[in-house]
Amino acid sequence: MRKLVLLGGGYGNMRILLRLLPNNLPLDTEIILIDRTPFHSMKTEFYALAAGTSSDQEVRVDFPESDRLTIINAEISRIGLEEKRVYLGNGQEVAYDDLVIGLGCEDKYHGVPGAEEFTHSIQTIGNSRKTYNELLGLPSDAIVGIVGAGLSGIELASELRESRGDLQIKLFDRSPRILRDFPERLSNYVKKWFDNHDVEVVSNANITKVEQNKLYNHEEVIPVDAVVWTAGIQTVKVVRDLNLESDGSGRVVINQYHQLPTDENVYVVGDCAGLPMAPSAQLAEEQAEQIVKILKAMWRSEPLPEKMPEIKLKGFLGSLGQKQGFAYLADRTVTGRIARLMKSGVLWMYKWHNG
């Protein structure tokens, strides 16, 4: 049997499973999925898990069941590209014919001393649970610092405000205005929400050091009871350890078929893949659609398209608590209740298709 091994059951590989199972897989091919968690974790919702507004069960769905699919629940410790094998933490080795690396990303601390040691994370479901325990266990009036005001920082700050009205929340933004790369209307809307809900946005911030209960913004020392780091990501260590050619942001360089330029049987999907757009679940899924087409053509020994179509993304949707939201779709901004309903709708559809 030919083995297609999927590393990581995230957004990219879930889409590959959805498209290949049950009827699009050649009879001589089986799929093996390896993930450290026994279910698909919906990373886009980890902010709500950490803030205590979504339960653990609400941010995960089961992997599909099929007699063409074997699921291995284990930690991947090394990928052996030479020997076409994947090495697991439990000592097991898994051989592959085709491999899709979809292991996502982890926090990047930019060399800030103490950041890794003294901040909490929402990059994995395990870390989000720990962050939840920390944040929800804080006494009244405790100060929470959130470092990084990108989408995940904004969503976490607003959700935590609704979950814990009694905490002091400080959101540290590197830019002079929040969501600097998007129209000012969006920035103003989000800033106003924070002002109205007593979340302090610290603009032009530069966190230079973190210590136990202390954040250093430039030279200023800010007392904190807990800090969550949402200020940068990098591909996971297992992928960094491959020492493959990477783009400016550390993502693996791939060809137009999403394969390693040096190995047509190894594909990279999602946050690990070097694409010209910012990493997102949406991008991972669109890329997965193309990978499925390539895999099918390769299995049938058909020629590959001379030029792959450009991946087009719809934009993004963000939440400000349970009732308000903001979106940037087809170069238009949408704010308020409608944007929030759209986000909830997308999540509902996702669970419906994948649950």
**Which residues form the interface with ligand FAD (CB under 6 A)?**
8-12, 35-37, 41, 43-44, 46-47, 75-76, 102-104, 122-123, 151-152, 155, 236, 238, 269-271, 279-282, 284, 316-317
| 216, 219, 223, 226: CA torsion to nearest 10 | -10
Question: Cβ-count burial of 250 within 10 angstroms (0-12 exposed, 13-18 middle, 19+ buried)?
Answer: middle
Cβ proximity to ligand FAD, 214 vs 240, nearer residue = 240
d(CA 85, CA 191): 49
Tell me the β-bridge partners of 209.
216
Shortest Å distance, C-beta 266 to ligand FAD: 15
Q: Which helix (H) or strand (E) holds 296?
A: helix 281-299
Cβ proximity to ligand FAD, 30 vs 271, nearer residue = 271
Shortest Å distance, C-beta 352 to ligand FAD: 17
Which residue type does 81 have? L
**Token pair 């998007």 is at which residue?**
182
Cβ proximity to ligand FAD, 208 vs 280, nearer residue = 280
CB 258 within 8 A of CB 174: no
CB 318 within 8 A of CB 343: yes
Shortest Å distance, C-beta 295 to ligand FAD: 16
Shortest Å distance, C-beta 28 to ligand FAD: 27
d(CA 291, CA 8): 15
Cβ proximity to ligand FAD, 30 vs 35, nearer residue = 35
Which residue type does 257 have? Y
Whose CA is closest to 52, among 142, 145, 162, 174? Answer: 162
Shortest Å distance, C-beta 325 to ligand FAD: 10
d(CA 246, CA 273): 9
Cβ proximity to ligand FAD, 28 vs 104, nearer residue = 104
Shortest Å distance, C-beta 289 to ligand FAD: 13
Shortest Å distance, C-beta 338 to ligand FAD: 16
Q: Which helix (H) or strand (E) holds 29?
A: strand 29-35
Cβ proximity to ligand FAD, 175 vs 280, nearer residue = 280
3-class state of residue 185 by DSSP: helix
Cβ proximity to ligand FAD, 50 vs 143, nearer residue = 50
Sequence-separated (6 or more) residues with CB below 8 Å from residue 215:
145, 147, 172, 207, 209, 221, 222, 224, 227
Cβ proximity to ligand FAD, 125 vs 224, nearer residue = 125
Cβ proximity to ligand FAD, 113 vs 126, nearer residue = 126
Which residue type does 306 have? E
Residue 273: how many CB atoms within 10 A of its CB?
24
DSSP 8-state class, residue 283? H
**Token pair 């394969």 is at which residue?**
259
Cβ proximity to ligand FAD, 32 vs 281, nearer residue = 281
Shortest Å distance, C-beta 109 to ligand FAD: 15
3-class state of residue 100 by DSSP: strand
Shortest Å distance, C-beta 171 to ligand FAD: 14
Shortest Å distance, C-beta 27 to ligand FAD: 27
